[in-house]
């Protein structure tokens, strides 16, 4: 362990797989104790078993972040187990993509409940402890959808735009109390969700090739590359970054069409 997160006690949501799991693994390698949340309790148990086998100090909680009471209980139980939390990574989220007029109200509600309200539930649960302790760090995993629009992905970009707004608002609100609130905006990342998306096409390999071709470097990110950025942003190596968004997309969002 390099120890960049020594004495950090970090809550990570959506931690059972993908980017959340990669962040959990990276934080463990850097010496942090972990509170891991995921609504899939079975998958989370498998994940935590592997992390514990590698020596991780952690507490796990199967919880839906849209349930504020469940989140509050998880934070209380986790803090009792590993110590007061001084960092939060709001990673849990869902894709809700639609043509606007074809979308029903249930899809709209679910998108905002998970991607925005769920993140707020977690912030609200950890902020009092951070303020009482004199500081902390919150990292919201946003997306390049937070500042760009792709047709037929409504209302997901709206929720991510709002998450970025919440990041800035909370960052300014609690800066005097020593709490930093930032966002990390990945582009395409080779997670199971992206692979499943490619598999919806008649030719998954062609769909993957088309995605890769969008990027200046001809490839997309690995979850581990996003985790490296997350570690930096919640570590003491970036103490003056606040109310900001770091884009990690290989240049995708600044490239105009050819």
pLDDT in tens, 92-108: 999 999 999 999 999 99
* Residue whose pair of structure tokens reads 């942090």 in the numeric block: 32
Nearest to 140 by CA among 186, 94, 92, 182: 182
Please, what is the average pLDDT of the chain?
Answer: 96
Does residue 224 have a pLDDT over 60? yes
Spatial contact of 12 and 89, defined as CB atoms under 8 Å apart: yes
pLDDT digits (tens, 9 = 90+) for 30-57: 999 999 999 999 999 999 999 999 999 9
**In this structure, are 25 and 72 located in the same domain?**
yes
Q: How far apart are CA 170 and CA 121, in angstroms?
A: 13
Nearest to 56 by CA among 82, 90, 78: 82
**In this structure, are 211 and 165 located in the same domain?**
no
Range of the domain at 173: 9-186+222-247
State the pairing for strand pair 136-141/87-90: parallel
pLDDT digits (tens, 9 = 90+) for 2-28: 799 999 999 999 999 999 999 999 999
* pLDDT bracket for residue 257 (50, 70, 90): low
| Per-residue pLDDT at 197 | 87
254 domain-assigned: no
203 domain-assigned: yes
255 domain-assigned: no
**In this structure, are 180 and 118 located in the same domain?**
yes
**In this structure, are 81 and 204 located in the same domain?**
no
4 domain-assigned: no
Q: Which two tokens stand for residue 102?
A: 């074809």
Per DSSP, the three-state class of 124 is helix
**In this structure, are 208 and 229 located in the same domain?**
no
**In this structure, are 199 and 92 located in the same domain?**
no
Name the helix (H) or strand (E) containing 223: helix 223-234
3-state secondary structure 9-44: EEEEECCCCHHHHHHHHHHHHCCCEEEEEECCHHHH
**In this structure, are 146 and 204 located in the same domain?**
no
2 domain-assigned: no
Per DSSP, the three-state class of 87 is strand
**In this structure, are 149 and 214 located in the same domain?**
no
Q: How far apart are CA 125 and CA 11, in angstroms?
A: 11
**In this structure, are 115 and 48 located in the same domain?**
yes
Q: Averaged over 71-97, what is the pLDDT?
A: 97
Catalytic residues: 156
pLDDT digits (tens, 9 = 90+) for 124-147: 999 999 999 999 999 999 999 999
**In this structure, are 215 and 150 located in the same domain?**
no
**In this structure, are 92 and 215 located in the same domain?**
no
Length of the chain: 258
pLDDT digits (tens, 9 = 90+) for 164-192: 999 999 999 999 999 999 999 999 999 98
**In this structure, are 100 and 138 located in the same domain?**
yes
Per DSSP, the three-state class of 166 is helix
- Beta carbons within 8 Å of 161's beta carbon, 6+ residues apart: 145, 146, 147
């Amino acid at each position: 362990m390099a120890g960049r997160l020594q004495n950090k006690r970090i809550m990570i949501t959506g931690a059972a797989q993908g980017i959340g799991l990669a962040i959990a693994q990276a934080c463990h390698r850097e010496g942090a104790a972990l509170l891991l949340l995921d609504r899939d309790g079975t998958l989370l148990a498998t994940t935590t078993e592997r992390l514990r086998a590698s020596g991780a100090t952690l507490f796990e909680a199967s919880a839906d972040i849209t349930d504020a009471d469940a989140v509050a209980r998880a934070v209380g139980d986790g803090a009792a187990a590993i110590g007061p939390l001084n960092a939060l990574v709001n990673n849990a989220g869902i894709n809700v993509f639609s043509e606007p007029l074809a979308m029903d109200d249930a899809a709209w509600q679910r998108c905002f409940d998970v991607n925005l309200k769920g993140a707020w539930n977690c912030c609200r649960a950890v902020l009092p402890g951070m303020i009482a302790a004199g500081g902390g760090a919150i990292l919201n995993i946003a997306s390049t959808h937070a500042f760009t629009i792709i047709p037929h992905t409504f209302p997901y970009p709206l929720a991510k735009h709002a998450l970025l707004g919440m990041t800035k608002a909370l960052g300014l609100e609690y800066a005097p109390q020593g709490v930093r609130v930032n966002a990390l905006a990945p582009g395409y990342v080779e997670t199971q969700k992206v692979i499943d998306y490619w598999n919806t096409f008649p030719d998954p390999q062609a769909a993957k090739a088309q995605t890769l071709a969008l990027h200046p470097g001809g490839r997309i990110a690995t979850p581990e590359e996003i985790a490296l950025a997350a570690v930096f942003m919640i570590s003491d190596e970036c103490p003056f970054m606040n109310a900001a968004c770091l884009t990690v997309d290989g240049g995708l969002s600044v490239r105009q069409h050819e």
